[in-house]
Structure 1
Amino acid sequence: MSRVPDVSAVVAGLLQVVEEQQKSSGTISPEVLRSLSLVHSHSLTNALDLIDGNKVTKVVSTSGRWVYQVIGSSGTPYVCFPHSIFCQCPAFKFSVLKKRESVICKHVLAARLATAMGVTEEKVWNPEDSTMTMAISLLMTVQ
C-alpha cells in the first residue's frame, strides 16, 4: 500500500527548498515555483505580490514572541501565527475551511515564503501602536 504525503508536509518541503535556493543562489528555480503553483494555484501569485509590496512584517515582542502581520490587498492587516495555517481573512474561512479549495490563504503563504526567502521586515511590538491588532496585543502580553 503506497502512502500519499500530507499536503502540509509537501508545502513544508517546498518552503525548505525555497530557503536553500535563496541562500545558495539568491533565486528560486522555475521548477520550485511551478511546484508551489500546483499546490497553491492563484494564491501563489497573490502571495508574491504581497511580498513584493513589502506587506509582510514579523512583529517581535521584547520577550521574543513573534507573529506575522500581513497587510492584505485591501489594506486590512491580518495576523498569522508562525506555526499555524489560521488567518483572520475571509478567504481562509471560505476557501480553506468551508470549500477546502486551498491549503492556506495568500497571507499565510506570503508570510511563510517571505521568511523562507529572507525578506521579512522585522518590527518590535509597541503596545501604543494603534495599527497593531488585538491578536498581536493578546499574544505579546500573555505571560
Structure 2
Amino acid sequence: MSVPNGVSVMAGLLQIVKTEYQASGQLSPGVLHSLHTIHGQSLVNALDLIDSKKIKKVTSSCGRWLYQVTGSSGTPYVCLPNSAFCQCPAFKFNVVKRRDNIVCKHVLAARLSTAMGVAEEKSVSDEYIADVLAQMG
C-alpha cells in the first residue's frame, strides 16, 4: 500500500475546497484544519492574500495563462499553473532548499482562489504572457 504524498493530498483537498465553496461560500473547519496541517502559517498568509484580492489569473487569447500574485510586501510574483514554482525568496528557501513546505503562500493562494472561484481574471495579449515568461529567465 502506498502512502499519498503532499501533492496528491493537496490535489484532493483542492477538489473539496471547490465543492464546499461553491455550495456554501465558505470552507468547513475540517477542510481548514486539513489545509493548515499541510501548510501551517502559509495557509493563513495565503488566505490573507485572497481576502486582499491580490491574485490575478492572467490569460491570453491563445490559452496560455499564469498567476500574478502581489505579495504582502507589494512585490508582484509570477506563479506558473500546475507547478509549485514561484519567483519569491520563500520558494527558493523553504520549498526548494529546506523542503519545509510543498508550495509557498503565493502558489497556495493562487490554487485556493482558483478552486474557490474568486481569482480575478485578466485577459491579456499573447505578447504580454510571452514577455512575462521571458523576464523570468
Q: Structure 1 length as normaliser, TM-score?
A: 0.88
Distance 1:77 1:117, change over 3 A: same
**2:118 is the counterpart of 1:116:** no
* CA apart distance, 1:33: 0.1
Range moving further from structure 2, 45-54 or 120-129: 120-129
Alpha carbons 1:47, 1:106 under 8 Å: kept: yes
Quick one: percent identity of the two aligned structures?
A: 58
2:24 maps to: 25
1:74 maps to: 73
Distance 1:81 1:4 in 2: 27
Unaligned runs of 5+ in 2: none
TM superposition outliers: structure 1 runs of 4+ over 6 Å = none
2:58 maps to: 59
* CA apart distance, 1:85: 0.4
Alpha carbons 2:64, 2:126 under 8 Å: kept: no
2:10 maps to: 11
Q: How many residues align?
A: 135
Q: Which has the higher helix share?
A: 2
Distance 1:46 1:56, change over 3 A: same
Q: Structure 2 length as normaliser, TM-score?
A: 0.91
Distance 1:100 1:111 in 2: 20
Q: Secondary structure of the residue that 1:79 maps to in structure 2? A: strand
Give CA-to-partner distance per residue, 1:75-107, whole Å, 9 cap, x none.
Answer: 111111111000010000000011111110000
* CA apart distance, 1:133: 9.5
Distance 1:119 1:29 in 2: 17
1:96 maps to: 95
Distance 1:135 1:12 in 2: 27
1:43 maps to: 42
Distance 1:3 1:30, change over 3 A: same
Q: Secondary structure of the residue that 1:83 maps to in structure 2? A: coil
